Copies of this chain bind each other. A is one copy, B any other.
Amino acid sequence: MAEEKREGREVNEEEDQVVNPWEVSAGDGGKIDYDKLIDKFGCQRLDDVIIRRVEHLTTRPAHVFLRRGVFFAHRDFNDLLDSYERGEKFYLYTGRGPSSEALHLGHLVPFMFTKYLQEAFKVPLVIQLTDDEKCMWKNLSVEESMRLARENAKDIIACGFDVTKTFIFSDFDYVGGAFYRNMVKIQKCVTYNKVVGIFGFTGEDHIGKVSFPSIQAAPSFPSSFPHLFSGKTDLRCLIPCAIDQDPYFRMTRDVAPRIGHHKPALIESLFFPALQGETGKMSASDPNSAIYVTDSAKDIKNKINKYAFSGGQDSAEKQRLYGANLEVDIPIKYLNFFLEDDAELDHIKAAYAKGDMLSGQVKKRLAEILTGMVERHRRERAAVTEEMVDAFMAVRPLPSMFD
């Protein structure tokens, strides 16, 4: 079995941009070079042919995140579609490290997309809350990590997942039994040198970090969920995630055939940029770098006006003369994620680029859209009861999933 391409170390390389599960930063270029990343990681670009294929197989238009290249890279997604076309179901696996109480818009992106995939392909979904990871990496107690996991589960449920098709679990709660046995099988296939190569651990890192990759890998294998799939252990798995998680799943894909499972397929997204510009992911330590689902309409308006990096000119006069540089303009990038109306987006981009629209007008429209989104999210979240959380997190068969 050929090893996944480019298993090399992603950190401390000569190349200037750094992308791994704990750090995303653009190099001297000032923005992430995604083409370079695809080359470096050895995944494939998600092209129009695949997008049309998805539309054909699901008989619905592709999600805006597909059409606009937010999910832009993949591994074996075509093979997964082949098997789906032959009538084989698969399941989705995504996750979240519950490090903060309030989610920001970037956190919602994979869940919005996963909800679309679940609906479009009519497949079950497992969502891993890695409270153990956050306890190990951040200075959080077990109890606080578990509390955050449950709070985050409410935000995830508010995205609209179907409880009959979705199992949400926290590692501290669920790890054990078949899941633990798979962890050990995975660990046996991965040397310390290997995880150092992939993740850049040092001898001063604690041993929990060293073995953690097996915990994020385990949900890629249906046998980790003996209760879930009516005993079907040969299901394929599709993982939607941001591309910084790719190292975990390259490792997982190397291990898969050695423990008798399919390699999981991946569909990978860009990073959602910080308000200050596309130099990396948003920083949890700077609340002004992101719009949170807890922000008020006024917060949103102020943050966008004050912090959103603009590609427009610095006076209305110059803007009318020279137009805006859309390549670096954060309001345009955010609209690209969240303004679903293609015609309106095209109009704004054209007018803004020519100078017919001013920065302030674009920002105003963005604030309207994000306020609507965030308020809708808050309404949905307020309707999530403890009983609903219990229902999503109950260890149970997903009924008649594969009939």
Contacts and interface: CB of A to CB of B under 8 A. Distances in A.
Interface stretch (A76-84, A208-216, A297-305): A208-216
A208 B180 contact: no
A398 B322 CA distance: 80
A180 B181 CA distance: 13
Given A176-B176, A180-B176, A193 B204 contact: yes
Interface in A201-259: 201-208, 210-211, 213-214
A282 B301 CA distance: 75
Interface string A136-154: 1000001000000000000
Q: How many copies does the complex hold?
A: 2
Contacts of A211: 187, 207-208, 210-211
What does DSSP make chain A's interface, helix, strand, loop or mixed?
helix
Counting chain B CB atoms within 10 Å of each CB, the highest count among A135, A142, A190, A214 belongs to A142
A175 interface: yes
Nearest to A183: B208
Given A175-B176, A176-B177, A210 B184 contact: no
Given A207-B213, A211-B211, A136 B188 contact: yes
A202 to B, nearest CB: 8
Interface in A162-176: 171-176
A345 interface: no
Interface residues of A, number: 38
Interface in A99-142: 132, 135-136, 142
B203 A191 contact: yes
A206 B180 contact: no
Contact of A192 (B142, B190, B204): B204
Contact of A185 (B142, B190, B193): B142
A358 interface: no
Contact of A177 (B135, B173, B206): B173
B173 A187 contact: no
A27 B187 CA distance: 34
A328 interface: no
Interface of A: 132, 135-136, 142, 171-177, 179-181, 184-185, 187-196, 201-208, 210-211, 213-214
6 contacts: A172-B180, A175-B180, A176-B177, A187-B206, A191-B205, A208-B214
